[in-house]
Amino acid sequence: MPNKIDVLARICPQMKAVLAREDELAGDANDTSAGFAQMRENYVAGRAWWNEGAPSMAAVADDVVAGPFGDIPVRRYDPTGAATAAVNGKGEVQPAIIYVHGGGFVLGSLDTHDRICRILAERAGVPVVAVDYRLSPEAQYPSAVQEVAAVADFLHREGAAWGIDGERLAFAGDSGGAHLNLAATLYLRNEGGGAAFVKCLLLFYGWFGLTDSASMRLLGGPWDGLAEEDWRFYLNLYAADPAALATEPYANLFLNDLTHDVPACYIAAAEFDPLRDDSACLAAICEQYGIPYRHEVFEGVIHAFLHYTKMLDAANDALEHGATFYRETLGLA
């Protein structure tokens, strides 16, 4: 598509340094022409260094939750030991955050987002449960939505076994994970008997359903792997009929009635992200209908910036601000 902004000339110095480091670590990790199998290898290799030196937790445990298509791997982060103590009858159950990783529904795992989860758990001061939903194209829409909803439903019903208060849950996620957070909340609200136990959503640069926008027209390229042909690549893997996603309520989330029963939303966007206007649209809906929210656009950065906490102040600020919004919303501040 013509008429693109010269993003690389406008990003901040720290973001330029991050991209240079990314080239050293993984080369063309965003090159969709390599195919999803090679991209997964590149993604894992590229994220390994960025995940080093993450905060220590009182306890970390890998587990599974029974889902609609089989067991769903999860990783539990207990930053203070309070949840572990509750399991042993030595304290109260804790509110918790369910983290859903990004990667265009095709990439990502518990390991690629480990540092993000640890930082969020440390800053929020509560357990984080990360979800390893099945990726596309092996599993396609709406399976990821249903699996994320299944983990939330399990924690709502059975969370006490892990020291978690099932009535005080929240979602957090980046990119495709942010999408799945809101989609799963709406799925639970519409088809799962209600989602009142989901008190807060931390949505980092998500896609929420727009098929065209000013930011999509102006932004996206090889630096972020979100040019138009890249976007088509991901959607073609995510759904058997990608054209139909525009009419599917758990893909095009703006088809849902967002005037009621939507949790408080922290909505973080990147200035030079083609998905920036999705966040702006959701924030405008929250403003119109009195949904508590905070909308931030982090200047000088591109999509997926949350991974780069080792070098990028904006990444640390976004996690800190999201954790603060979460604590204020749940009355933990």
The residues annotated as belonging to the active site are 175, 273, 303
Rounded distance between C-alpha atoms, residue 81 and residue 85, angstroms: 6
Which residues, in sequence order, are bridge partners of residue 200?
Answer: 170, 264
Residues 6+ apart with CB under 8 A from 278: 206, 207, 208, 209, 210, 213
Contact by Cβ (8 Å): 163, 96: no
Rounded distance between C-alpha atoms, residue 70 and residue 285, angstroms: 36
Rounded distance between C-alpha atoms, residue 304 and residue 272, angstroms: 11
In single-letter form, the type of residue at position 45 comes to A
- Number of Cβ within a 10 Å radius of residue 110: 16
Distance, C-alpha 124 to centroid of its chain: 16
Contact by Cβ (8 Å): 224, 271: no
- Number of Cβ within a 10 Å radius of residue 109: 18
Tokens of 318: 């976004």
In single-letter form, the type of residue at position 302 comes to I
Q: Within 13 A of 285's CA, how many CA atoms are on the CB side?
A: 21
Rounded distance between C-alpha atoms, residue 135 and residue 102, angstroms: 10
Rounded distance between C-alpha atoms, residue 146 and residue 269, angstroms: 25
